[in-house]
Structure 1
Amino acid sequence: QWTNYIHGWQDRWVVLKSNTLSYYKSEDETEYGCRGSICLSKAVITPHDFDECRFDISVNDSVWYLRAQDSDHRQQWVDAIEQHKTESGYGSESSLRRHGSMVSLVSGASGYSATSTSSFKKGHSLREKLAEMETFRDILCRQVDTLQKYFDACADAVSKDELQRDKVVEDDEDDFPTVRSDGDFLHNSNSSKEKLFPHVTPKGINGIDFKGEAITFKATTAGILATLSHCIELMVKREESWQKRLDKEIEKRRRIEEAYKNAVTELKKKSHFGGPDYEEGPNSLINEEEFFDAVEAALDRQDKMEEQSQSEKVRLHWPVSLPSGDAYSAVGTHRFVQKPYSRSSSMSSIDLVSASDDVHRFSAQVEEMVQNHMTYSLQDVGGDANWQLVVEEGEMKVYRREVEENGIVLDPLKATHAVKGVTGHEVCHYFWNVDVRNDWETTIENFHVVETLADNAIIIYQTHKRVWPASQRDVLYLSAIRKIPAFSENDPETWIVCNFSVEHDSAPLNNRCVRAKINVAMICQTLVSPPEGNKEISRDNILCKITYVANVNPGGWAPASVLRAVAKREYPKFLKRFTSYVQEKTAGKPILF
């Protein structure tokens, strides 16, 4: 399992049981409880595209990166996890359809309810018109009932009249006419007329004013139509306003959805930020801009921590130990220290010169490196078109020549600086002495001396602090200090520290770090301005001219633009920090020539 970017992949005891994946530090620690677990019901299993042994399990923002022994074991794990997901009931089509339908019904009901409620909230005028329509409806219902009663009564009366007339006709057919004395027939005409044409006055309609009701009915329907027309007019007038509000809501929703998508993307980035896919490598998912931002943020944090540490040291006023008095001797008109301040070497300056003749298995290589640096590194590159001046701060200038080989940045850097109050011997002494390395070097995580070849040559293995997402680097190099004899009295005194990569059986390559290759030289020349009269030489009369060259092959897959930006930022910072440290350590001490 991938633990974090510091420890990387670690062996873990993983248990798959009851639709849950749990892991323990080891099989023996299962009784103490698991260190983490995830439910597989909604987990997403993703086999890696390039690593045949790796697969990732993600649940929301939680991601587990796992690697099996081989591709067959990975497939067994993936199949087992998928089977547990299927048995849990969340992965089937019917389950998804059932849950989807439930959500749709609830959402539909909620939407209908919200629409029904909000449909009456159209404004004050519209509410008044709706109330008027309610009143018109009540009036219209009463009028319809009244008219219906009238029509029903009329229908009953007509039916009764038809029955009565039929009965009268039957009675008339049964009657015979009366013979008069003159021989004519005599009929009772009055009674027949009354039977044939009765006066129709149905019950229940005597109190109804049909004409008045009809007029009122027309007025009510006209009022309803007028109110409806007014409602339509109000809605038409508000259509533009509602449309504008709708457009605003649509735009607001679009912005919110866009912000939501961006937030989700950022959360995914943060949740995966420590994963192996986002660290330096040939298949890294992080782009060049994000890589640079992450490195710059990490360097800023380191700088802030270093500033806090320095402030704490200043606040505590740590005492500085001075060498004993027997270390000084008077020669001519000034004092100088015969012994360097290093605890690892008690050799004098003259001894270091003669020590250059000490023979060890890297002697020839050291001599070649020193001669090359003295020949080429001291040349002025200010007018060379191949060298670019990237930083200039006071006396300090940093030049760079862009070189790439197989996509790897191999830019040589050269810096020149002039520091008052220190000698070249003092600068090289503090640069070479491992006992004070941690006092000024802030990028090293740890280091140790692998082998002491001579009193002025050692092999050092050191690892640099991890700067996420770049891989951690380590360096195995030989460090030699040398005094270069002057060819004439006018030539300045010159000291050099030469560091270059070597191989050693005690420090083999490892998978945790990327091995960088270096060829670095610190060349220091001391310039002395004679004091007036017979005064002793003080630190006000000395100046150290520094030439620092660095040829570094970082290895790995870091983007070229990132490496160049980091070098432009860190090299001047290192040179200023180191020279300030030397000035601080030598202040008030006798001059070491």
Structure 2
Amino acid sequence: DVLVTAWNIFMTILFNKNVLNRFFSFRRLAFFIMEPHDFDECRFDISVNDSVWYVRAQDPDHRQQWVDAIEQHKTESGYGSESSLRRHGSMVSLVSGASGYSATSTSSFKKGHSLREKLAEMETFRDILCRQVDTLQKYFDACADAVSKDELQRDKVVEDDEDDFPTMRPDGDFLHNSNSSKEKLFPHVTPKGINGIDFKGEAITFKATTAGILATLSHCIELMVKHEESWQKRLDKEGPNSLINEEEFFDAVEAALDRQDKMEEQSQSEKVRLHWPTSLPSGDEYSAVGTHRFVQKVEEMVQNHMTYSLQDVGGDANWQLVVEEGEMKVYRREVEENGIVLDPLKATHAVKGVTGHEVCHYFWNVDVRNDWETTIENFHVVENLADNAIIIYQMHKRVWPASQRDVLYLSAIRRIPAFSENDPETWIVCNFSVEHDSAPLNNRCVRAKINIAMICQTLVSPPEGNKEISRDNILCKITYVANVNPGGWAPASVLRAVAKREYPKFLKRFTSYVQEKTAGKPILF
């Protein structure tokens, strides 16, 4: 008795950390494992889930007394069988008895646990609740069977009572049959298995399990909030309060762009460009204005670009010539709004051997987009508005430390007939930002706004004699204009330096690609 009392005091001090833990103190005894030490005859170990206690007695006999007393107490507590352990499982099987957390917070035990582990815990809680439901269902079934048997028994008693009608004794008294007693009419029915259910214990387990589910859900929400805050912090790093100065910002961006260039060169050298079997439609299909819901907006954009974008800006003091390489010239007009750089950019170029139709076709055709565009991570067509107008969602590769950008824009290709015989025919591709329900804003990227136009005119030098026109006789004048709102802050000097570097590189890469794709093919005017 002394040993058992000492054990109870020991376990009470250990487990009863708070009010709710005291509620489960005796149930936790079901989950300990006691093992005598292999070499030390005076030692035995007691493990309760994640915690282990090393106990050493004065001598082997003393140790054996402890072991016997503990095992006896465990048996007498009603948790000695495997079925009992399974039936009375609860949150305590998941948490160390030595934990300092309450039963309500037992699902927040280790904040480093992942969502997968939390979901596994909820699976365990679900199993516990399912076992409780099965136990209660068996009990209710037993009650129903007992009631059914009781009704049959009552019917039988009534029949027996009719047979046992009181008879007259010779002395005039009535003789009553003893089988027609009250106990026979109303026998005491006890459903089979009722004595094996600990309703108090099941109630405790149910309360603990539901508390564990709520705590686990709370922890899952907390983890997701932390992930969201982490993404928000990464986004906030790109701003006027960024810890990186402009020089470091530029160095990081330049290094990232250099890595992308090297990766692109390596990938191009390791694989042969895919030649998509795309047929180039005639210009008549691209002359129509169309009937889709963005027709007026497209027409407005086309007219604005034809009016203003083709104007010569060489003598305009507002435009700065930032790059000049052969026939290519790149101009920039510095514009800032609320600290965000919105510099309009305009580039002019002349490319031999290709027509304006061919250049605009390859610029507009999404089937070959990945052949020449190296800044895109992925893209897809959101909606086909017409044969010459589509809506595209495009996600660009991230250039650290800037946030990743995406764009949603309408891309339309148009053929503008010449006004006179002396005027060249013009082809134009307009890309401008729109909104679409199928591509809403997301937290991963910063949505940029664009208004871009690729305007091409074909000049033909008549060949000598009656020779056919060859690619040596054609020249494409390209005007490329870009108005981009990056959607977020970045150092102005960095953005302008990157634009000065990337736009000329893009024009050279793209026009070289068109020359490569059209070489040896019939000319498409």
Structure 1 length normalisation: TM-score? Answer: 0.46
Counterpart of 1:584 in 2: which secondary structure? helix
Give the 3-state SS of the residue equivalent to 1:138 in structure 2.
Answer: helix
Using the alignment, how far apart are the partners of 2:386 and 2:166 within structure 1?
171
Q: Paired residue for 2:497? A: 565
**Offset at residue 191 of structure 1 (A):** 162
CA change 1:97–1:296 in 2 (3 A) is: farther
Work out whether residues 337 and 592 of structure 1, in 8 Å CA contact, stay in contact via their aligned partners in 2: no
CA distance in 1, matches of 2:507, 2:83: 69
User: 1:154-553, aligned counterparts within 5 Å?
Assistant: 280-313=238-271, 366-553=298-485
Residue 555 (structure 1) shift: 1.4
Alpha-carbon distance change, 530 to 301 in structure 1, aligned in 2, over 3 angstroms = same
Measured in 2, the distance between the counterparts of 1:141 and 1:454 equals: 56
Deviations 1:209-229 (CA, angstroms, capped at 9, x unpaired) = 999999999999999999999
Go from structure 1 to structure 2 and tell me whether the alpha carbon gap of 1:553 and 1:323 turns closer, same or farther (over 3 Å shift): closer
Q: Counterpart of 1:56 in 2: which secondary structure?
A: strand
Asked whether the 8 Å contact 1:328–1:335 carries over to 2, the reply is no
| Separation in 2, partners of 1:143, 1:22 | 21
| Corresponding residue of 1:8 | 6
Contact 1:85–1:91 at 8 Å: present in 2 too?
yes
Higher alpha-carbon deviation: 215-224 or 461-470: 215-224
Q: Distance in 2 between matches of 1:338 and 1:467?
A: 36
Q: 1:142 aligns with which of 123, 126, 131?
A: 131
By how many angstroms is 1:493 displaced?
A: 1.2
SS at match of 2:421: coil
* Greater mean deviation of Cα atoms: 488-497 or 74-83: 74-83
Distance 1:8 1:515 in 2: 69
Could you report, residue by residue, the CA deviation over 1:156-180 in whole angstroms, capped at 9, with x for unpaired residues? 9999999999999999999999999
Structure 2 contact 382–438 (Cα < 8 Å) conserved: yes
TM-score, normalisation: structure 2: 0.52
| Aligned-residue offset at 1:246 | 52
CA distance in 2, matches of 1:224, 1:508: 34
Change (3 A) 1:393 1:184: closer
- Offset at 1:312? 2.0
SS at match of 1:381: coil
Contact persistence 1:509–1:515 (CA under 8 A): yes
Contact 1:337 1:591 in 2 (8 A): no
What's the CA shift for 1:461? Answer: 0.4
Counterpart-to-counterpart distance in 2, 1:418 and 1:120? 68
Higher deviation after alignment, 131-140 or 46-55: 131-140
Deviations 1:191-248 (A, max 9, x none): 999999999999999999999999999999999999999999999999999999999x
Cα RMSD after superposing both structures = 33.7
- Distance in 2, matches of 1:332 and 1:151, equals 72
In 2 relative to 1, CA 20–516 (structure 1 residues): closer, same or farther, beyond 3 Å? farther
> Given the superposition, is the C-alpha separation of residues 17 and 441 from structure 1 closer, same or farther in structure 2, using an over 3 Å criterion?
farther
Paired residues of 1:322 and 1:589 also in contact (CA < 8 A): no
> Offset at 1:289?
1.3
Once the two structures are TM-superposed, the CA of residue 284 in structure 1 deviates from its matched residue by 2.3
Kindly tell me: are residues 335 and 388 of structure 1, through their superposed partners in 2, closer, same or farther at Cα, counting changes over 3 Å?
A: closer
* Structure 1 counterpart SS, 2:99: helix
Q: Secondary structure at the match of 1:109?
A: coil
With over 3 angstroms needed to count, the CA separation of the structure-2 counterparts of 1:207 and 1:289, relative to structure 1, is closer
Distance change (3 Å), C-alpha of 1:64 and 1:586? farther
Deviates more, 1:210-219 or 1:437-446: 210-219
Query: What are the ranges of 5 or more consecutive residues in structure 2 without an aligned counterpart?
Result: 24-28
CA distance in structure 2 between the aligned counterparts of 1:230 and 1:309, rounded to whole angstroms: 44
CA 1:132/1:190 → structure 2, altered by over 3 Å: closer, same or farther? same
3-state DSSP of counterpart to 1:114: coil
In 1, Cα distance between equivalents of 2:113 and 2:204: 31
* Mapped partners of 2:197, 2:389: distance in 1: 131
For the 8 Å contact 2:87–2:131, the answer to whether it is kept is: no
- 1:142 offset after TM fit, Å? 102
1:161 and 1:52 map into 2 onto residues whose CA distance is 59
CA distance in 1, matches of 2:281, 2:68: 72
2:50–2:95: 8 Å Cα contact kept in structure 1? no
Q: 1:189 to 1:584 in 2, by over 3 A?
A: closer
C-alpha separation in 2, matches of 1:419 and 1:146:
83
TM-superposed deviation, 1:80: 38
Change (3 A) 1:535 1:565: same
Bigger mean CA offset, 70-79 vs 301-310? 70-79
SS at match of 1:112: coil
Offset at 1:290? 1.1
Contact 2:87–2:132 (CA under 8 A) maintained in structure 1:
no
Deviation of 1:283 (Å): 3.6
* SS of residue matched to 1:549: strand
Distance 1:381 1:73, change over 3 A: farther
**What is the Cα deviation at residue 440 of structure 1?**
0.3
Residues 90 and 401 of structure 1: CA distance in aligned 2, closer, same or farther (over 3 Å): farther
